[in-house]
């Protein structure tokens, strides 16, 4: 922190007259000794009496009328310091900090608030900080520090209007001769706490999802090794169930690995030109057998011209495969799934997947893309879901700078719409280069 000395202090600088006065003050006693020598030389006859008198008078005038040395010329230990207040070093110190900072006096009254604190908290200078931050642990920590205690760090939460977590750091500030202060720094831990909670929930959910099929496998193996050792019918049935459980674990591990790979490259934006029309046509053809098995008809409304977006083809196939497959399975009672691509020269391309099944209640919509979140757990397991499909969709779309919107009314089905704001509509069919084997090499 900057010193709180007067702006006029310092050994160098200042106006020329002040510097001259300082030098004359430093030579005061040298000039006095020179005047005595002139008097002695005049009395001994070595100098003309008139010239000696004039020199003596000039030196005496300098000694008598030269200003005294300013206070800044005194030793630093004897300086008279101005009282410190946040118009000098404390204020600059608070504004330089990257976190919200409050300067408190020893009574707990706010004396200064930096810009970041003023934007985040409705606390103003002149108010006791405890009026706004009514946390007993904070008040107790402040009182200990204000009485000369060591710096303290306290974590606390605010529940209204939304849950937010903060870390408060109190430290005393010695003003070197002036008034002493206590610095209060606040660090927002809300995002860190949210990530920690997601991580804990993820580990717990993943462990649960793996433990269930593992327990089933272990139980059937023990049965096959014991009572059902020679029962061919039971052995065949148990082996079929064990196969299903093993496949369930395999799908879960595949989804976990896929999610991990996407998160690692979420900041690397894909740029390959991908035709959405081609992707959707491929998926409707590939999912037709599943839809026919469940008694669902897939209808599509696609432009004739290609709709080009920058992206990764495999990842976009994964996105729309998840959405269309979910619509077929969970909207099975509606008997129809409609896939539409809308694109114009002015609007961003959008792909919507609409089913006519039972729909989704409003309270579930904000959490659909959370990992392992299921609206209907039994239905999800019946359809071999892992609870990670929409989480993967969300992360892939984030990498593509795309948006997912969900609309649903219970009893009327649901619509999932993917929009690509940064994409362009291209009515010109892409040129396809082919190799000598007549295989496509790239789309440009």
Could you read off the pLDDT of 3-18 as tens digits, one per residue? 433 333 444 445 566 6
Residue pair 301/321 in contact (Cβ under 8 Å)? The answer is: no
Q: Measured between alpha carbons, how far is 131 from 133 in angstroms, rounded to an integer?
A: 6
Lowest model confidence (mean pLDDT) among 60-74, 304-318, 363-377: 60-74
Q: Share the mean pLDDT of the chain.
A: 76
Q: Cα separation of 342 and 305, whole Å?
A: 11
For strand 403-408 and strand 414-419, is the pairing parallel, antiparallel, or unpaired?
Answer: antiparallel
pTM of the model: 0.53
191's tokens: 């995002």
- Band (83; pLDDT cuts 50, 70, 90): very low
Residue 161: asked if its preceding bond is cis (omega within 30°), the reply is yes
The percent of residues in the chain predicted with pLDDT above 90, rounded, is 14
Confidence of residue 434 (pLDDT cuts 50, 70, 90): very low
State yes or no: pLDDT of 70 exceeds 90: no
For residue 19, give Cα distances in angstroms to 5, 66, 81, 100, 357.
Answer: 19, 12, 21, 43, 91
**What's the pLDDT score for residue 59?**
62
Determine the average pLDDT of the residues in 18-36. 63
Alpha-carbon distance of 341 to 43, in angstroms, equals: 118
């Amino acid at each position: 922190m900057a010193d709180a000395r007067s702006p006029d202090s310092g050994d160098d600088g200042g106006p020329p007259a002040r510097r001259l006065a300082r030098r004359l003050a430093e030579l005061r006693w040298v000039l006095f000794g020179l005047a005595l020598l002139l008097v002695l030389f005049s009395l001994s006859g070595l100098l003309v009496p008139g010239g000696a008198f004039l020199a003596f008078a000039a030196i005496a005038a300098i000694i008598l009328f030269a200003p005294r040395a300013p206070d800044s010329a005194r030793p630093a230990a004897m300086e008279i310091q101005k009282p410190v207040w946040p118009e000098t070093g404390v204020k600059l110190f608070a504004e330089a900090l990257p976190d919200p900072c409050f300067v408190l006096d020893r009574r707990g009254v706010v004396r200064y608030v930096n810009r970041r604190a003023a934007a985040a908290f409705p606390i103003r200078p002149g108010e006791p900080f405890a009026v706004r931050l009514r946390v007993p642990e904070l008040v107790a920590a402040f009182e200990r520090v204000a009485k000369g205690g060591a710096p303290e760090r306290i974590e606390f939460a605010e529940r209204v209007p939304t849950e937010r977590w903060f870390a408060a750091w109190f430290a005393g500030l010695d003003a070197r001769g002036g008034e002493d202060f206590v610095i209060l720094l606040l660090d927002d831990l809300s995002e860190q706490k949210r990530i920690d909670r997601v991580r804990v929930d993820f580990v717990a959910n993943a462990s649960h999802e793996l433990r269930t099929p593992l327990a089933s496998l272990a139980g059937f193996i023990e049965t096959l090794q014991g009572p059902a050792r020679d029962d061919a019918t039971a052995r065949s049935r148990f082996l079929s169930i064990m196969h299903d459980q093993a496949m369930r674990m395999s799908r879960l591990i595949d989804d976990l690995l896929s999610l991990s790979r996407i998160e690692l490259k979420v900041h690397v934006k894909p740029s390959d030109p991908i035709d959405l029309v081609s992707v959707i046509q491929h998926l409707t053809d590939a999912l037709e057998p599943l839809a026919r098995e469940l008694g669902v008809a897939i209808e599509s409304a696609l432009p004739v011209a290609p709709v080009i977006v920058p992206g990764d083809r495999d990842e976009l196939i994964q996105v729309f495969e998840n959405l269309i497959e979910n619509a077929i399975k969970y909207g099975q009672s509606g008997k129809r799934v409609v896939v539409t691509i809308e694109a114009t020269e002015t609007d961003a391309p959008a792909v919507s997947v609409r089913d006519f099944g039972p729909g989704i209640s409003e309270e579930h919509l904000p959490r659909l893309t959370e990992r392992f979140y299921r609206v209907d757990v039994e239905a999800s397991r019946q359809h071999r879901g892992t609870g990670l499909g929409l989480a993967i969709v969300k992360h892939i779309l984030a990498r593509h700078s795309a948006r997912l919107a969900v609309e649903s009314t219970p009893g009327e089905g649901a619509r999932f719409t993917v929009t690509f704001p940064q994409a362009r509509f291209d009515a010109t069919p892409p040129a396809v280069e082919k190799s000598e084997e007549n295989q496509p090499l790239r789309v440009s």
